[in-house]
Structure 1
């Protein structure tokens, strides 16, 4: 079997899909994208295609090594994301060629179902609580929410209380036997993070995600040591080398993104690396159905997998959602807060190619917001 072509599709709301074709008619799908930089990653995939066309798709590890290290300049979100989508597609081909799910090729399933969580919105406590109740009615037992909006380097008691009040409203709504996770999104300074973590402890979040930006990962040991709340991070780390010091910092949950951190191959290694430190795995995935399918394949073969993010109904998904590009949506059927083990070959999903082609004709040019403080200075989004 030989690879004949790599075709990319810009599809709403902010995704990039990849189809890798072979001379035996078996195709694999991947999702290589950096949100807001989809065209850049698309160009990187086109460059990497020169190394793949005419090659055996089954040599996944060799391709990963060459694509990741074969250029003199390595790493970073664009290259790692391009490799990630290609890697997903190659595993999809391998599984389809052998007639088994990818997790069977990774050693077999270690669980029968995987816990999942979904996002909630709402700037006011009442709105956030109502959205949480809606998610519970939809079958989820855990939700995640943005903890805050724009934050200054040092904040007022009122701003701190606003964060706590919103989380408290959600906690009261869902009760003590369900979970709420908080995403700080790197929006706060280490000083404000310490204050918020202290004030949020009585509400027992499942975890607090990205309390500081990756550039300040050196602050994680102090933050982890100063709170009882489990700390999670990793969506903006792209390799096992990026995770090395972070895992030793005392975090509780590693969150590599299957579309950014080198795909199935590298995330599988990061998961094992996390297990060495007693750290759980919760793949980051505010993306589309291919990224979610790839994440689940790793979840089902990773003993330390804790919970899986899904972007179903997330506020980014305007115009299209996770299920819109699938032939059979039952593969992501949520019940009692879990999704069943995928049994189809490859990634376990069938892409609706007509829907993808139609969406690609429209394309997209999604960009993340740029936020500024009241004084006009830049602040983290």
Structure 2
């Protein structure tokens, strides 16, 4: 089998509510659907997060195309090493989502060629269902309270809320409202996206802990591991690394520094499913659990990560997903969104060959057209945030 063509299509899917973080907002999700065609008539599906932008990922894909066309897609290790060592000059970062999409498509082809799901090719299922958190969009306390009740009603066991507002009272009001709406039995995970200094982080987490936090994600800079270790030693809530742990080398340094209790890993940021599994292995050797991070993914990428999570024991917490925000998806049956496709906050591991999902051609075309018409409206551009020239940390 040989790769004959790589096709990439940006798509934009709206949210039901804006996603808001410490430095901006977006009203929908942009991703790149990647299709890898072969001379045997099989097509593999992949998906790249539009990080840092769809144009940047498209450029990376085009630069990788000469390295993969004509190659055997079933020799995945050799192909990805060629991309990493020859094509991107040992660099991981902005090129990683493109490499991850190509690698995912190769896994899909491998599974389809032998009639097996990807999870079986990665060691076999350790679990049959994969848990995701309920993403609660930041808003006024009444909105957050209602969304917490919606999450509890849908059977979610963990809610995720962005913090790092300009003043701590705003964050505290939202966390209190979420606890009231979700009830006592739902975990609350907060994410500051590096918005706090060490002292502010310790103070903020201490003030929030009465509401029963599950994890606090990246409270301070991910580039200062001693500071993370300092904060970790002074809070009771376990610290989840994110911006500090996007690659395997980052995770290795993070663990050596004792800077986190839980590590977030992402195939989009480290070039593929094999590296996501390797990340989990590094953390398992250190006795640390992992969670799947997401830059924003639709059904193809979510299905791919579900196969890895299903086959890897130390994914012990709810993983990041966008089902609670998405209005639709591009795969048949709407695998990753909207919320109604989740049962008790979980997705079943696909049992079909390869990724086990198929494109909905009509919806893929609809959302490709939406991207062409108004794709710029779906990026993290908030006029208010742009006008204020924000800086890190906030306080």
Whether the 8 Å contact between 2:244 and 2:250 is mirrored in structure 1 is no
After superposition, residues 172-211 of structure 1 pair within 5 angstroms as 172-211=180-219
* Alpha-carbon contact 1:68-1:79 (below 8 Å) kept: no
CA RMSD of aligned residues (A): 2.3
The change in CA–CA distance for 1:352 and 1:324 in structure 2 (over 3 A counts) is: same
Q: Tell me which residue corresponds to 1:327.
A: 332
Cα distance in 1 between the residues matched to 2:336 and 2:181: 29
Q: 1:147 to 1:348 in 2, by over 3 A?
A: same
How far apart, CA to CA, are the structure 1 residues paired with 2:125 and 2:91? 30
User: Partners in 2 of 1:262 and 1:216 — Cα distance?
Assistant: 24
Question: In 1, distance between residues paired with 2:138 and 2:384?
Answer: 21
SS in 2 for 1:346: coil
Report if aligned partners of 1:41, 1:82 keep a CA contact under 8 Å in 2: yes
String of CA shifts for 1:88-140, please: whole Å, max 9, x gaps: 11111111111111110011011122222121124222221111111222332
Q: Does 1:368 align with 2:380?
A: yes
Q: Quote the residue 1:75 is aligned against.
A: 91
Taking structure 2 as the reference length, the TM-score comes to 0.86
1:372 Cα deviation from its structure 2 partner: 7.0
For structure 1, list consecutive stretches of 5 or more residues without a partner in the other structure. 152-158
> Which structure is higher in strand share?
2
- Structure 2 contact 221–228 (Cα < 8 Å) conserved: no
* 3-state SS in 1 of match to 2:172: helix
Gaps of 5+ in 2: 14-29
- The secondary structure found in structure 2 opposite 1:78 is coil
Give the aligned partner of residue 2 of structure 1. Answer: 2
| SS of equivalent residue, structure 1 residue 7 | strand
Aligned pair partner of 1:117 in 133, 139, 149? 133
1:242 alignment counterpart: 250
Of 35, 58, 69, the residue aligned with 2:51 is: 35
- Corresponding residue for 2:319? 308
Contact 1:9/1:357, CA 8 A, preserved across alignment? no
Equivalent of 1:171 in 150, 165, 179: 179
Per the TM alignment, residue 251 of structure 1 is displaced from its structure 2 partner at its CA by: 1.3
Deviation at 1:217, TM superposition (A): 3.5
| In 2: Cα distance, 1:45 partner to 1:39 partner | 10
From 364, 373, 378, give the equivalent of 1:356.
364
- Aligned position for 1:253: 262
CA displacement at 1:179 relative to structure 2: 1.0
Does the Cα contact within 8 Å between 1:237 and 1:261 map onto a contact in 2?
A: no
SS in structure 2 at match of 1:176: coil
Name the SS of the counterpart of 1:294 in structure 2.
helix
Who is 1:278 aligned against? 287
SS of residue matched to 1:270: helix
Deviation (angstroms), 1:237: 4.2
Give every structure 1 segment of 4 or more consecutive aligned residues whose post-TM-superposition deviation is greater than 6 Å: 371-375
